[in-house]
Structure 1
């Protein structure tokens, strides 16, 4: 008996692995819970900001007839990371759902799919799970997706077509899949993670926060997550209150998205590459607070700052920071946004532009008196008299 069970299990495992290898070879997308192509995006994407959160996914693959979601019956659940702050109560009026195809419009019915109607969920239920219980799961009750009399019955969200159609008037023409877009408006009260995802990926790009989706039509147990390029990006930020300054002026440096409980070192990053190179001067340190931000007051001096900006008169006066977990900012890194592609989110390091100053002593004089003109922080050039006059 034990031998038979072992043999049966071995055959089943071999069959499963064989099917999986064939799917990989054909570049087929396995249907896990009839969900695919999950994407997430926040706007604004600043760490800790109250944002509009958009989640987009495909409700099944062509040929899978199990993904229909009935209005007033089925649900969509969106799972976010615990660092994304979700209120315990979300008003349905602050959430919208859009589908490119309705459930009464598939798969053989002719006529165009609408997909332009925006509906609010019947209800929104927020549950926190995990250990500790701080992972937010937001479940949306699917409404009548098209409440007018233009379409028959109580419209839900269609699954994919069983096969593509060659008729341009068919709901299964060309794509044959249903794209669902869920938008949590800014007044839904969802806050971006205050700390940016640590480190960079293998391509040197910033990482994002995960988002997972599952539906009651898939059994409500197996979720599908967004691929790395389609996660929610909240870039680490460094801001200064004044980018044009003179010697002796005090400016405020603010960092957002850094690791709390660590010490941030602020330095003049001459080439804006995020690396503390030899010869680059540390400007000071600041503790990163529990909200993953720091504030640092800096009095401008020459050196270490140089005259001009962007290399004129010397290397750039870029102000960067690195925390105790080695998180920093690299200037000019672009990450394509998953939903508003080709829009990008770009990491930028602020730069101080040094202005020259001129003073006259004394400030008042009679004709024939001698005055002294002091010029500071101008580029080393030859001065040319362009006009003469008598005061």
Structure 2
């Protein structure tokens, strides 16, 4: 009998305001202490909100991405020779040019912090060459589902037998343009806190995020590498309800969850934790709660749920990968992150939210969910053990 091919996470690395390295992300998420503070990367004097979760002394985005890719490859035990032929899937902000990152040491006078830009596709090629990845490259610029879509594509290619190994990387560093856009749209939390699913929630806050993971087939075990987790299932669906607002019943996200469970061959009851997309905005959190009830049935009221955006902020294109790393490590560690900022139950979000501190678990599978403007939805199911 031919063994079914599965996509395994063999190397992970991430950077956020919680710290540098995968272990720092888990420790920060479990501690539940939000990492938001005043922005000194650019001038916020004209903004309603002046805080975000930023990394002190962060480098340019290309440098941070290259370092993350190298670290993930080293964690997977890949030397330069073993990276030959490996594909790179990169999730970054789209547009004709990609800002190179914050202007370091310039303080508020740095303005937008943008340097001479590089098109995303060119950046992907440069990173691949810099890190010794000689396979094909592909970029994902579909906003907040960019990284999770890349993970789904990588897992699909591995399970089909198209490739043995893929590196997925993603990055977003808080900069003035997106900050101003979200602030002008009244999406940022004026009270300086992200309160997913909670009564009194006021909105989202942005955060730096750079992450990279190595996904491999069972070849990793032949190399003697113990996987961090497996990507057991994934799903993608659109609802096309509104350019910015989610479909109130959560139908698109529910279809994504359904697809992930079907692909894994598992019932809803197998899900032991959900790292929700929940950004702390009124409509999107309520729609996500509805989606979980629609997809998981009665289990939707029992499964532990939290959103780690409450501590590391919304990293836009990088969110899906940063949250995948945290989710996989939390499941492997057997402890679920707290949902920070909680003020009280909101009747529009009847969920089992992890509120008072980290929660011990013996669960073997967890969902991480992401949603983007335009009605794009993704669900990734990870497993351990």
Q: TM-score, normalised by structure 2?
A: 0.20
Relative to its length, the structure with more helix (as a share) is: 2
The answer to which structure, 1 or 2, has the higher relative contact order (CA under 8 A, 6+ apart) is 2
Relative to its length, the structure with more strand (as a share) is: 1
